[in-house]
Amino acid sequence: MKEDHLKHIDTDLWVDEYSDMLYNYAQARVSDHDLSLDLVQDTFISALKALENFEGKSTIKTWLFSILKRKIIDHWRKQDSRKTRPMSSYFAEGSMGPHFLEPSSPKGLIPEFEEKINNEELGGVIHECIDDLPGKQKGIILDKLVQEKDSEEVCKDYDISASNLWVIVHRAKLQLRECLESKWVNS
């Protein structure tokens, strides 16, 4: 038997009000339509189950987003159970010397690109490159380098340490720089 107070909840209203924004948030981070829809549905269901714990300290919207963020973290946990390895091993693997930046050694072309590109094109190009980032990297770059959120907040949202964040940003920026350079060279 379900709790009585659930009967008073208009879940249709939740869907009308919040499903689009929750979906867009998830989609921007996991790049998968069906998965995003599932995450939104799971978020609503978890919210219903935990409704009695909702104390009204935050708005329903903030509360739903906090649940969705946890769902996204859980998704990545399941997908990639290995922990981000410690820093020492990050710097022990692969080429370290000048070959590290090959095959596309930076030629310092990006400032030129920055100068020439107009705002409409910029949005498209940057988002295409961000879309190609794997797993968590995408959301972390959006939150940390586009939205400029506090590092502490980002680490909490993604359940990572500060040094994990630095490594993830490094990896992502290497890829973004390469992506942007190739778009500029081929444009």
Partner 1 sequence: MNCKKVTYLIEKRAIAKLNFWEKIQIRLHKSVCNCCRNYDKDTTALNRMLLKVANITEPTKLLDKLEKERLKEALRNEIK
Q: For partner 1, which is the closer residue by CB, 79 or 152?
A: 152
CB nearer to partner 1: give 56 or 97.
97
Q: Please list every residue from 27 through 56 that binds partner 1, using CB under 8 A.
A: 27-28, 37, 40-41, 44-45, 48
77 versus 150: smaller Cβ distance to partner 1: 150
Residues in Cβ contact with 87 at an 8 Å cutoff, skipping those fewer than 6 apart: 163, 167
Query: Binding to partner 1 by residue 123, rule CB under 8 A?
Result: yes
93: burial class by Cβ within 10 Å (0-12, 13-18, 19+)? exposed
Annotate 123-143 with DSSP letters as a single string: HHHHHHHHHTS-HHHHHHHII
| Residue 40 and residue 1 in contact, taking contact as beta carbons nearer than 8 Å | no
Q: Shortest approach of partner 1 to residue 122 CB, angstroms?
A: 6
The number of angstroms, rounded, from the C-alpha of 40 to the middle of its chain's C-alpha atoms is: 15
Distance of CA 172 to the CA centre of its chain: 12
Q: Please report where in the chains the tokens 């989609």 appear, as a residue.
A: 27
Contact residues toward partner 1 (CB under 8 A) are 2, 6-7, 9, 11-12, 14-16, 19-21, 23-24, 27-28, 37, 40-41, 44-45, 48, 91, 94-98, 100-101, 105-111, 113-114, 117, 119-120, 122-123, 126-127, 141, 144-148, 151, 162, 165-167, 169-170, 173-174, 176-177, 180-181
